[in-house]
Structures are given as C-alpha cells and as structure tokens.
Amino acid sequence: MTKKLTGNQIRQTFIDFFVEHGHTTVPSMSLVPGGDATLLFTNSGMVQFKDVFIGTDKKPYKRAVDSQKCLRVAGKHNDLEDVGRDDTHHTFFEMLGNWSFGDYYKKEAIAWSWQLLTDVWGLPKDKLYATVFKDDKGDVPTDEEAAEIWRAQPGMNPDHVMYFGRKDNFWQMAETGPCGPCSEIFIDLGEERDNLRGTDHVCGVNGECQRYLEIWNNVFIQYNLFEDGRLEPLPAKHVDTGMGFERIVSILQGVDSNYKTDLFKGSLDVLCSLTGHSEKEMLDNFTPYRVVCDHVRSAAFLIADGVVPGNAGRNYVARMIIRRAARFGSKIGLNDPFLAKVAQAVIDQYGDFYPELEKSKTSIFDNLTREEIRFARTVEAGTNHLENLLSDLRAENARAERSRSAVLDGHRAFDLYATYGLPFEISRDIAREQGLDVDEQGFNEAKEEHAKASGGGKAMGKLGGEDAEFFAGILKDLQSKGKLGAHGVEYDPYNSTQVEKYTGLEVLALVVNGESVSSAELDDQVEVILPKTGFYIEAGGQVNDIGYIKSVTLSAVEARGWQIEVTGMRRASAGVIVHIGTVISGHPKVGDKAVAEVDAVRRHNIMRNHTATHLLHKALHEVLSDQAKQAGSLVAPTHLRFDFNHPEAMTHEQIERVERMVNEAVAADMPVHKETKSLDEAKKEGAMALFGEKYGEIVRTISILSSSGSEIPKEQGKYSYELCGGTHLERTSDIGAFIIVSEGSAAAGVRRIEAVTGRGAYELIQKRFKTLKHAAAILKSGVDEVPQKVESGQNEIAELKKELANLRIQSALSSFVFHLNNVQTVKDVHVLAAEIPDSNADALRMLADKFREKYPKAGAALLVTGSTVIATVTEDLVKRGLKAGDLITGIGGKGGGRPNMAQGSLPDGNVKDALGKVAKVVEEKLK
C-alpha cells in the first residue's frame, strides 16, 4: 500500500467493497436496541438482524453491509475491565459487517474476506490465520467445508488454518434456535506484542498473550438447535460477520495501539493541550489517557442515542462512564470540567458518518459538564469515606491473618453510591488500586432492595440519590423556621389550572449548581422550592408538567419582575418537590412572592391522552381478553403509548374494533369521577390495580361512568374503574378523537400501541389527507381512485423493467458482436479486450460465456463496464499458466475468482490504456 488510509476511508473501503459485490448499505441501529427488553445495549452487528435470522422479519435485500455502533459494558459482554489496560478493547466500538440472508455462503464469504484483507488492503498473507470449528464433544460435524475453502485461498498457508472447539468457534443466539460454526481471522502482530514475554506460555492463536489478535469473525448460521439438543440444517443459510473497526485501522495504519490511530488523535491532542504533557509523558501515563478517550466517546454516542446520566439501568451506565472518565482525568491533573472539550474532538472525528452526534451536540456537552459538576460536589466526601472503609478492611484482614485479598461488602459500596454518587465501578477501581476488591453481587442485591423499598425501582431515579441529604437539610431548615409543615411541600396537581390557588407563593429556596443561594441570575439553571405546587411530577407514565414561575409585581412595573421557565420536576428528597428551570428574565430572590403557572394547553393534551389510555385499556380487555393487562405506559402531550400482555400481533380487524370502541366511548360523553378511598374498599369494588405497582393505604380512583342514552352497555354504571394518580378530563367527549398510529412488539409476550387524541388526532388526519390529495394530484385521479392507479402504475413499471433488461442484453450483445471483429491474435491466442458501455457484471459474465463458446480453445477476454471488469480464459490456457485473475491484476486492477473466470475493479483513469495492455499480459504470461 502506498498511502496510509484514514480511519474514515478504511470504513468506506469496507462498505464499498461489499457494495461492489451486490450488498446494500444499511445504517447502524441505535445503541439502545428497540423492542428487545432482554438486552441493555446493542453489543454486536447481529442485533438489528436477529428477527431476520429467526424468520419473523424479512428485508428487501439479501446482502447487506454496515458499520454497527456497539457497547460492551453490561451483561454477557462486558469489556470494561480491559479498557485502558490493553490496546484492543473499548467500551464503545464499531463493528463492520457483511451479511447474507439465505443468499451466498461460506465460499463467497471467505473468498471476499481474504480478497479484502490481502488484495485490497495488502495485508501480508503469511501473518494471517483462520480458525474453524471442530467439536470438542464430537456431536457436531467438523467444518471441513470452511477449512478447505480457507486452504484454497491464494497464498494461504495451509498450516495457518486451525481447528478450535465450542468455546471459540461455535455461535448460538440462545439456548435454542439458529446457530452454527464460525471462523475467526487472526493476525500475528509479532513478538513485540507478546505482553507475557519471559513467562512459560507459548504464543498462539486464541492464546493468552496479545501477540495474535482477532480481527474478524465470520459466522455461518446453518443449523436450528432444538431443546433436546437436536441440530437440524436450516432451509436458508446465513452469513453474519463482524470485524473490529478500530483494530483493522490500527493494523492498516501500522501502529501498535487502537488509541494511536487517527480515530483518537483529536481526543488525545485536546487532552495533551490541557495537561501540558509531551507525547512521551502522555505515553508514560497512557492508561488514564486511554480510559478518558474511550469513555468520552462512549458517552457522546450514548447521549446522542438518548441515554443521559441517571440512577438506574442504561442511565446508570451513562453516569458511571462519565464519572469514571472524570476520575481518570483527575489522575492526569484535570480537575475542572473538561469532558465536553474531548467530546468536541469526538464529534469532529465521527460527525460525518454518524450525524446524530452533530445533532445532539448541545445535549452532549451539557450532560457531560453537568454530570462532572455533580460528581465533583460529592466525590471527595465519597472517596474519603471509602478510604476509611478500606483501611478498616485492611486492619481486619491483618488481624485475621488472611492471605487472600480482602473484599469490601457490596452493601457498603451501595451506601457510597446512594449517599455520595460513587458508582460501583469507581469504588472497585479504588479498592483494586490498593490490592483489595468490592463484592459486586452484594452491591447489586443492595441496589435491588433499595429499588423495591422506594417503589418499583422508579423512585430511585427521581430521588436523585446523591443530593437527597442536601435537600433534606434544606427541608429541616425551612420547617424550623415555620415555612413548611411536617409533610413538606404541598402537592396538588389536580386543581393546578386554577391559577389563583398558586399565586402569592413565597419563594422558599433557590438552588444553583448544587448550592443554596439567596438570588439567581439571568440564564442560571435553577431549582426552586415553593410552599405548594400544582405541577405534576412524572408518575404512572404521565410526564412532568412544564410552565412558568413568575414574580408577582405589586407595582405592575414589569421591569422589576422576573420569570423562570420550568422544564422539569423532581422529588429531591422526602417532602421536597423542586421545580427545575432556567431564569429567563430578572433576578429571582428567596422571599419574593410568585405565581406558578402550569402550561395549561399542554396539560390539557396530556389529560386527553390519560383518559383515553383508560378507555383503551378497557377496549383491549373487551376485544382481546382480561389478560391484556397493562405492562407499561407513557402519557405525553403529543401521544400515548400503551404496553400490554398479549402473546401475538393484533389483527387489523381487532385494531379497528379497539379504535372504534374508544371513539364510541368518546362520543358517549361519559363523566369521569375521581375519588380517594382506602385501598381495601377500592379493591372490593373491583377497581383495576396494576401488577407490580405499589399502592399506599389511601388511593385515588378514576371511574368512567356509562351515561344514559349512549350505545355503551350500562353494566353497574361503571364503564372503567382504575386506581390511578394521574390527571384526567371531566368528560370523555373532551378527548375529541382517538386514532391508533401503530401496533407492534415491545418485548416477548408484550405488545405496544401508540395513539393520538384531540389536537394530535386532528393534525394526523390533516396530514394524511394532504398526503392523499397530493398523491391524487400527481396521479391525476380522484382521492378514492388512488389505490387502483398506484397498482396499475406498479404493474406498468414492472413490465418496463423487464423490457429494459432485455434491451440492455440485446445492446450489450450487439456491441459485443461488433467487438468480436476486433479479436487480436497474440501468438496462437485469440485475445479480446473491450469496453461495453451501460452494462453490468451479470451481462459481462454472459458475454464472457459467449466468447468461450466461440473460442473454446486458446481464448482470453477482458470486458469492462464502468469500473467493473470481468476476465475469462479457456481451460487450455489455464494449464499453460494464464489465469483469468492475471489479466485483471496485469493491467492494474484488483480482484480475483476462479482460474477461468474472474471479477474485479479498475482504478479510475484511462480505460483505453488499460485495455491496450491486455495483449501484452497474455504474451508475457505464456512465454
């Protein structure tokens, strides 16, 4: 290779190579796998094609190529502990893949891997190794098919094809289902990369040291595995490959670490300019540099996919990664917020290929910086506490004369997280730096107990965890001054639209950057505590209210007033409700009188969706069964989302019936009654309680009553009866209209309906009508005739395509006949070198066959269209030492194939010159 390719060019060559071989480019799916509740993050390329392999999804293409964003920090795949310590594992990385869905198989997949690595990228053939499957249990046949294909690759050393067992070379998606042997490609990076030199290990493929690096895994999905262990061949066989992008870039750029590639250069430069380190100093401290670069990249991609730092699940991972990056930053002297600067370099490097980064830029910067500031506030207290625990542990260990390294109780580590926001992974880092460890299982148990105690795992996210103590302090203070009662802030979202109830409220506290302040400035992010609030706090699927808190100016001199835009709500601690917002004018002060106004239009839209959700729930019970129970819900201003238990997709007819039933209930103008009563009483009356939800002694109930004169049956007067803390309409007719937008799978056994009501429904209808009218105008038909018109148009296009294909072949044939007159004779050989315009590889191959029909002996032809080239030679010439591939490489092209027929590509440039060389190549080869 002459010029070094950049990382971006390498990704593109991979994609281009497979596009040339008939693959469709498919974009990466999100790091958050849609519709797969079993998986926290997308961790390999196959996640987005899982359903195709199982057979429940079909794609319009049979060959695909992609670069998939992957994250391996949780679950079965967790590489966190390798990151920073080695040069080849990341938390986030890209996996390049080519895919065959029941199309090509081992022969093509292996040949193309080899061709790409050795011909296109020019890797040394003698350094490459391939592993194939040989069952250590002896149940599944050895994959001799793959082994033979590997040994047949030009230049492949047959001793480099090696056999490995189930652990390394057999792939299965789950306990049952599609599975098959895989074949991994390794490269020998040389003795220098043996990090265990001096020990008695032997370097080898799948060995212990880092000398042999896995770069590409080719999985051949050919069996279906049954519960009883039986394997049956699949009717359609698939290919699933995954190449580590950062690894191949480091190899092609000739560097000994993924972090020394251009992919990380921008990030490292930013870091060095901040620390003032020279390159040598950086390399002496490489671990923190590697961890920061890796983690910031992961965090940027996570935030771009909507995963912001938080206390549970995916959000916890985002928080942990950011905090860990901050802590490793402090090891190289970076104590002020710096992560956003590194993130800028990440966006510069990846923004073109992954436009979501550019789009979420502000959110990425804000979230990183905010999280760094939050962490900085508590990290010192947290680590001091941890140090004390660890030194106790060491002392205890010495007393007990234990030789094994001691382990800190996981419950203790959880307390550190709950109180000081120190993630488990960071406590473990600190313990391990001192030769100790932390019990992970105990931590997880404590986390689960806590989640249960605070209500179904949800409260944890809302309590905010680490600053609960701080807000509890504020509450105590306000109570001692008599500003707040025993229960803290009064919460009444049910009458919040009556503004007069929420005027003249005293601003009790303002918190900026985690500190209590007496006044706030323009643009400050501020948390506000008032004696009471009508803003709804996210619960039961219904989202937070937003709105304004404004000063009440008695003099009506507006200039002295101030306004805070409220964008979120949270319970910061028991009894403490805070409004989260930004000062958009003036200077709010503690003690000022204010009015709190919920955005009433938005709230009304939310109430429509909430009442409609209850009607939908009822209708699903009627149309499907009583088992169609709620499994999750979102009530937003724009739409509602409802998950429910049901084993299969709903039919069109069922969806229509549900939609109709809800709209009947809307038209019936039923009153909605809200009552609080004891849980026992409500249950006795048959109110529907949600599974897994925790209720207090006194509950709020929502009943929708059948009104007289409607078509709705009047069973006991109550049409729907649920326990619910949400806000609802007075009458169902206020919903306006209800339209189901989609029905799909949310998880195994769980379906999801999305729907719109009121304004949202009107807008959807309006938009659909416009589209339909537009289509009708284009088709010059009436709206009702659109379907027939489209269908007949489609038929016509299919006909024309067929005709066009025929014409192409005829035109290629006729120009070919013309070219046959120009067949030259070189020695005794008939040589044809011709350009066939506007053709394709398939047509060229047909022409090549024609050529050999005409010259069954002593014939050699090379045909070009665009940059595609096909070469053919007759069998007698193959025996005399001339292969079809020689013709292509001899004129400066790339490619390969069988000895008598090869395909490849020509670099841009003068085709005429290239064609002119063919005769010479023949002459020299046959010398």
Catalog residues that contact ligand ATP under the rule CB under 6 A. 44, 72, 79, 89-90, 93, 95, 214-217, 242-244, 246-247
Please identify, using beta-carbon distances, which residue of 89 and 238 lies nearer to ligand ATP. Answer: 89
CB of 161 to ligand ATP, least distance (A): 17
CB of 208 to ligand ATP, least distance (A): 12
CA distance 184 to 217: 4
CB of 243 to ligand ATP, least distance (A): 6
Which phi and psi (to 5°) does residue 884 adopt? -55, -40
3-state helix, strand, coil in the chain (%, to 5): 45, 25, 30
- Cβ partners under 8 Å of residue 26, min gap 6: 48, 61, 64, 65, 66
Query: Which DSSP state fits 727?
Result: -
CB 582 within 8 A of CB 476: no
CA distances 347 to 84, 148, 263, 856, Å, are 21, 44, 11, 58
Please identify, using beta-carbon distances, which residue of 259 and 719 lies nearer to ligand ATP. Answer: 259
Please identify, using beta-carbon distances, which residue of 217 and 732 lies nearer to ligand ATP. Answer: 217
Q: What is the CA radius of gyration of the chain?
A: 34
CB of 7 to ligand ATP, least distance (A): 13
In this structure, the dihedral spanned by the alpha carbons of residues 519, 523, 524 and 528, taken in order and rounded to 10 degrees, is 70
| Number of DSSP helices (H) and strands (E) in the chain, helices first | 28, 36
Please identify, using beta-carbon distances, which residue of 110 and 921 lies nearer to ligand ATP. Answer: 110
CB of 431 to ligand ATP, least distance (A): 23
CB of 100 to ligand ATP, least distance (A): 17
CA distance 533 to 526: 16
CB of 711 to ligand ATP, least distance (A): 58
CA distances 419 to 36, 65, 375, 413, 445, Å, are 32, 47, 12, 10, 17
Tokens matching residue 424: 């488990």
Please identify, using beta-carbon distances, which residue of 215 and 332 lies nearer to ligand ATP. Answer: 215
CB of 65 to ligand ATP, least distance (A): 15
Please identify, using beta-carbon distances, which residue of 38 and 441 lies nearer to ligand ATP. Answer: 38
Please identify, using beta-carbon distances, which residue of 69 and 450 lies nearer to ligand ATP. Answer: 69
Residue nearest to ligand ATP (CB): 244
* Secondary structure (DSSP) of 616-646: HHHHHHHHT-TT--EEEEEE-SS-EEEEEE-
CA distance 31 to 779: 41
Please identify, using beta-carbon distances, which residue of 425 and 538 lies nearer to ligand ATP. Answer: 425
CA distance 927 to 908: 30
Please identify, using beta-carbon distances, which residue of 168 and 356 lies nearer to ligand ATP. Answer: 168
With 0-12 / 13-18 / 19 or more C-beta atoms within 10 angstroms meaning exposed / middle / buried, residue 812 is buried
Closest CA to 902 of 878, 925, 866, 927: 878
CB of 112 to ligand ATP, least distance (A): 16
Please identify, using beta-carbon distances, which residue of 90 and 324 lies nearer to ligand ATP. Answer: 90
CB of 911 to ligand ATP, least distance (A): 37
CA distance 423 to 319: 8
CA distance 579 to 594: 13
* Secondary structure (DSSP) of 684-713: HTTPBPPTT----SEEEEEEEEPPTTSSS-
Please identify, using beta-carbon distances, which residue of 263 and 670 lies nearer to ligand ATP. Answer: 263
- Cβ partners under 8 Å of residue 284, min gap 6: none
* Secondary structure (DSSP) of 148-217: HHHHTSTT--GGGEEEE-HHHHEEESSSSEEEEEEEEEEEE--GGG-TTTTSS----TT-SSSSEEEEEE
Q: Coil, strand or helix: which one is 232?
A: strand
Please identify, using beta-carbon distances, which residue of 186 and 328 lies nearer to ligand ATP. Answer: 186
Please identify, using beta-carbon distances, which residue of 244 and 588 lies nearer to ligand ATP. Answer: 244
Please identify, using beta-carbon distances, which residue of 425 and 886 lies nearer to ligand ATP. Answer: 425
Expressed in angstroms, the distance from the first to the final Cα of the chain is: 29
Tokens matching residue 261: 């590639």
CB of 218 to ligand ATP, least distance (A): 10
Query: H or E stretch including 767?
Result: helix 758-779
CB atoms within 10 A of CB 546: 20
Please identify, using beta-carbon distances, which residue of 17 and 535 lies nearer to ligand ATP. Answer: 17
CB of 251 to ligand ATP, least distance (A): 10
Please identify, using beta-carbon distances, which residue of 93 and 354 lies nearer to ligand ATP. Answer: 93
CB of 96 to ligand ATP, least distance (A): 9
CB of 507 to ligand ATP, least distance (A): 50
CB of 45 to ligand ATP, least distance (A): 8
Query: H or E stretch including 825?
Result: strand 824-826
CB of 186 to ligand ATP, least distance (A): 9
CA distance 37 to 32: 10
